[in-house]
């Protein structure tokens, strides 16, 4: 079925399998189908966006247009766009040259960039807005989840206020649903992303170990060795990391590039036969262990060494739940608090509840009908909220944030 809209700049023909929604823009009426059946002849056609004169209303649809109507096309990036994307992101964020491939080598190097999930809008052939979707395979206690990470959210200064970011975020959300992601995660300003259904989520326990607490616990420093690419040490590190019940699934290549990031210090030690490792980052001022694994006493021994060597008064350790905190670390902690882990959007409510029920006490299934009466962000708070009472949790190690 095709509907016609006579716009101020020309005629737009909207092709769709069924007309299910009606939006009124000024005195014009646009009909469109929010989704198409997988076998629809239009299912794989290109998506465009229309920015209205007020810049506040934009609608996605599969279209055929007369040349007179100006539409901005959403594109998936191609390998030839790589250098332009990097320069665009550096300018938009105010970062230095090649910041992104250095800071995020597992996803932003030329060979690791997922072009299909990198969405662009161009003006006069130049990139002016971008959003990227990052598929993440997460192990969250008893369950495995495929999540859609969002990052690289940017618009050039000259294109801000035109609604492009709004359009790209909604387009990415449609892709998530189409590809079967139950949830999406991102790091960013709560007030910026609430409009897209994201809310602070998860429970991260932050334990602070001070030099005084270290001594009071009767612990002794261990002089570690620095990891510098040794294959035998990497094998031990990987084994220790993969014993964590909450983690992102990584490839061997991802381990290698992650641990060679500029600004990281990775220390390892074999306390007798009990291996442990600890990672510090210049980005966090070396006050937080952005990753650790292995024997808890060995980890604490390395922490004591790090505090002494770098003149740190304390170190922070992160855990997704109290039950997995090793007793030596809990006893050495001087204080602790609970913070949100990330921002989360529920893409598919029923699938999310079904997947995460194994995390809840005695596998109790939340009332799906009551949840459907809530807003998107209220659903996130009810299921994944940081405050007591929410049944589910999500946790990402700092090195896996995108």
Q: Following DSSP, what letter does each residue of 133-159 receive, concatenated?
A: EEEEEEEETTEEEEEEEEEEEEE-GGG
Residue 62: the pLDDT is 35
pLDDT of residue 363: 67
| Residue 391: per-residue pLDDT | 94
Which residues contact residue 349 at a Cβ distance below 8 angstroms, ignoring those fewer than 6 apart? 368, 371, 372, 379
DSSP strands (E only) in 241-399 = 246-248, 264-271, 274-281, 289-294, 314-319, 335-339, 342-346
Global pTM exceeds 0.85: no
Q: Residue 296: its pLDDT value, please? A: 96
Q: Mind listing the pLDDT tens digit for each residue in 95-114? A: 999 999 999 999 999 999 99
Taking the chain (402 residues) in runs of 10, the rounded mean pLDDT of each run is 39 38 34 38 43 39 36 88 98 96 96 97 96 98 97 94 94 97 96 96 96 96 96 96 97 96 94 90 85 97 96 96 95 96 97 94 83 97 93 95 86
Q: CA-CA distance, 388 to 379, in Å (whole number)?
A: 15
Q: How high is the pLDDT of residue 277? A: 98
Domain boundaries in the chain?
A: 2-70, 75-203+340-400, 204-339
CATH 3.40.190.10 fits 204-339, yes or no: no
Residues forming a β-bridge with 204: 339
SS3 content of the chain, % helix, strand, coil (to 5): 35, 30, 35
**For 199-239, how does the pLDDT look when each residue is reduced to its tens digit (9 = 90+)?**
999 999 999 999 999 999 999 999 999 999 999 999 999 99
Domains 75-203+340-400 and 204-339 share a fold: yes
CATH class, 75-203+340-400 region: alpha beta
């Amino acid at each position: 079925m095709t509907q016609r809209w006579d716009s101020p700049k020309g005629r737009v023909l909207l092709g769709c399998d069924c007309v299910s929604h009606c939006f009124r823009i000024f005195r014009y009426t646009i009909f469109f189908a929010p989704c198409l059946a997988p076998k629809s002849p239009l299912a794989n056609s290109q998506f465009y966006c229309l920015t209205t004169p007020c810049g506040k209303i934009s609608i996605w649809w599969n279209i055929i247009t007369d040349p007179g109507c100006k539409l901005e096309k959403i594109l998936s990036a191609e390998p030839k766009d790589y250098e332009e994307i990097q320069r665009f992101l550096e300018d938009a964020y105010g970062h230095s040259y090649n910041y992104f491939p250095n800071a995020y080598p597992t996803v932003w190097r030329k060979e690791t960039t997922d072009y299909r999930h990198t969405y662009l809008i161009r003006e006069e052939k130049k990139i002016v807005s971008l959003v990227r979707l990052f598929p993440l395979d997460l192990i969250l206690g008893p369950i495995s989840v495929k999540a859609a990470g969002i990052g690289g959210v940017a618009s050039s200064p000259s294109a801000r206020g035109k609604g492009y970011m709004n359009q790209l975020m909604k387009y990415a959300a449609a892709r998530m649903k189409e590809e079967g992601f139950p949830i999406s995660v991102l790091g960013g300003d709560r007030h910026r992303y609430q409009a897209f259904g994201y809310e602070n989520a998860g429970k991260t326990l932050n334990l602070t170990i001070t030099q005084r607490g270290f001594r009071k616990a009767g612990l002794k420093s261990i002089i570690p060795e620095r990891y510098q690419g040794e294959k035998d040490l990497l094998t031990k590190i990987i084994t220790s990391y993969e014993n964590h019940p909450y983690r992102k699934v990584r490839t061997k290549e991802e381990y290698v590039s992650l641990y060679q990031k500029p600004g990281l210090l990775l220390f390892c030690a074999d306390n007798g036969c009990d291996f442990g490792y600890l990672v510090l980052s210049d980005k966090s001022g070396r006050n937080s262990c952005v990753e650790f694994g292995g024997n808890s006493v060995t980890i604490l021994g390395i922490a004591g060494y790090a505090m002494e060597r770098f003149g740190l008064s304390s170190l922070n350790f992160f855990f997704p739940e109290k039950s997995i905190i090793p007793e030596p670390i809990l006893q050495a902690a001087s204080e602790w608090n609970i913070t949100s882990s990330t921002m989360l959007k529920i893409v598919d409510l029923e699938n999310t509840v079904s997947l995460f029920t194994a995390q809840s006490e005695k596998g109790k299934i939340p009332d799906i009908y009551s949840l459907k009466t809530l807003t998107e962000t209220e659903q996130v708070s009810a299921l994944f909220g940081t405050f007591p009472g929410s049944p589910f949790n999500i946790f990402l190690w700092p090195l896996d944030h995108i």
